Amino acid sequence: MIQERTIPKLPAIAPLSREEGLLIYEDMVLGRFFEDKCAEMYYRGKMFGFVHLYNGQEAVSTGVIKSMRPGDDYVCSTYRDHVHALSAGVPARNVMAELFGKATGCSKGRGGSMHLFSSKHRLLGGYAFIGEGIPVALGAAFQSKYRREALGDETSDQVTAAFFGDGTTNNGQFFECLNMAALWKLPIIFVVENNKWAIGMAHERATSQPEIYKKASVFGMPGVEVDGMDVLAVRTVALEAVARARAGEGPTLIECLTYRFRGHSLADPDELRSKAEKEAWLARDPLKKLAAYMIEKQLASAEELKDIERRIQAVIDEAVQFGQDSPEPDASELYRFVFAEDE
């Protein structure tokens, strides 16, 4: 019998200003609207390949990445990477163009949905194989520490966030990298987006210890469980983890209990999850939860939030037009960007 996890109690919320609240809401709306438009484009035959959407998990991306320094700290993603890229500051038009396979895409049309990358925004990439990005994130964290401690660069205090799903935590890279991060006290945050399902495998059936955050104790690092449908709860634990990492106190493992509102990918009929389960999680929509909080605390009015939604919809519409109008990669440049180039 699979036991349901209880939702963690809400920690004392980190102070939230009106400006911070509006920024967080805008970022979450951007992620949701972008993914909805991707679904529309895919089903209209305008977008091809594997497309894994993030609907429902926006509180995790926003809560963690917006607690970091934009354009300075590092973010390493998975194949469900669109919203991580947007939260990291990659313009929606360049992400959308990449999904259309165009030369103006953030990966020059060579990556597609699962391989978004932007050196400017410190986005270390999306990765098609689970666990593949964790060692890359570990390397980024190591170089930050090495530059500071071995080379004397006092400005090198960047923090790296490595995102991955619950299924990845049964892979060797997860354990090896947690061990190394703890040994070397690297400035990295391991963010587990536990959405209960690894494609069609229920998390509780695939691991001997379903409470992933407890695995951190084996390596002597803090492990935190948080409600991944509450952006303010995620933000609170992320701010603490970032502060610890930047102060040289080492890594943190954060398990965010969340849920994807769509199937594993847009090609997934999503018949394995029960209707009752899906409805229960849909009722906890993180966007609606934040909007209610903002209005209740008088940080914003309902009309102000609607204005944000209208403005973001215009951004998404422009991104689609930009992507469709952009040129295809030139065949003569087939082998370009295999190696790094000076910008």
What does the pLDDT read at residue 271? 92
User: pLDDT of 58-75, one tens digit each?
Assistant: 999 999 999 999 999 999
Q: Which two tokens stand for residue 7?
A: 């939702």
Considering only CA atoms, which of 230, 239, 228 is closest in space to residue 290? 230
Using pLDDT thresholds of 50, 70 and 90, give the confidence band for residue 10: low
- What's the chain's average pLDDT? 95
pLDDT, residue 339, reads 87
List the beta bridge partners of residue 194.
257
Rounded to an integer, the average pLDDT of 11-22 is 91
**One-letter-per-residue 3-state SS of the chain:** CCCCCCCCCCCCCCCCCHHHHHHHHHHHHHHHHHHHHHHHHHHCCCCCCCCCCCCCCHHHHHHHHCCCCCCCCEEECCCCCHHHHHHCCCCHHHHHHHHCCCCCCCCCCCCCCCCCCECCCCECCCCCCCCCHHHHHHHHHHHHHHHHHCCCCCCCCCCEEEEEEHHHHHCHHHHHHHHHHHHHCCCEEEEEEECCEECCEEHHHHCCCCCHHHHHHHHCCCEEEEECCCHHHHHHHHHHHHHHHHCCCCCEEEEEECCCCCCCCCCCCCCCCCHHHHHHHHCCCHHHHHHHHHHHCCCCCHHHHHHHHHHHHHHHHHHHHHHHHCCCCCHHHCCCCCCCCCC
Comparing 243 with 339, the larger pLDDT belongs to 243
Please provide residue 168's backbone torsions phi and psi, each rounded to the nearest 5 degrees.
-65, -25
What does the pLDDT read at residue 8? Answer: 72
Q: Burial code of 64-99, b = ≥16 C-beta within 10 A, e = fewer?
A: bbbbbeeeebbbbbbbbbbbbbbbbbbbbbbbbbbb
Q: Is the pLDDT of residue 338 over 90?
A: no
Find the mean pLDDT for residues 130-149: 97
The pLDDT-based confidence of 103 (bands split at 50, 70, 90) is very high
Checking if the pLDDT of 288 tops 60, the result is: yes
Summarised one tens digit per residue, pLDDT across range 194-214 is: 999 999 999 999 999 999 999
- The pair phi, psi for residue 32, each rounded to 5°, is -65, -50
Question: What's 20-65 look like in SS3?
Answer: HHHHHHHHHHHHHHHHHHHHHHHHCCCCCCCCCCCCCCHHHHHHHH
Model confidence at 131: pLDDT above 90: yes
The dihedrals phi and psi of 215, each to the nearest 5 degrees, come to -65, -20
pLDDT at 342: 74
pLDDT at 11: 65
Q: Encode pLDDT of 26-68 as tens digits.
A: 999 999 999 999 999 999 999 988 999 999 999 999 999 999 9
pLDDT score, position 2:
45
Please give the share of the chain, as a percent, with pLDDT higher than 70. Answer: 98
Decide: 30 and 92 in contact? Cβ < 8 Å. yes
Rounded average pLDDT over 169-191: 97
Whether residue 247 is predicted with pLDDT greater than 70 in this model: the reply is: yes
Per-residue confidence band for 4, with pLDDT thresholds at 50, 70 and 90 = low
Which domains does the chain carry? 18-273 (3.40.50.970)
pLDDT confidence band for 343 (50 / 70 / 90)? low
Tell me what percent of the residues of the chain surpass a pLDDT of 90: 92
CA distance 251 to 203: 24
Per-residue pLDDT at 157 exceeds 80: yes
**318, pLDDT greater than 80:** yes
Q: Pick from 161, 145, 143: which is nearest to 249 by CA?
A: 145
Taking Cα atoms as reference points, which of 258, 232, 261, 304 lies closest to residue 26?
A: 304
- CA-CA distance, 39 to 47, in Å (whole number)? 9
From CA 173, how far away is CA 291, in angstroms rounded? Answer: 38
End-to-end CA distance of the chain: 56
Residue 1 — pLDDT band, cuts 50, 70, 90? very low
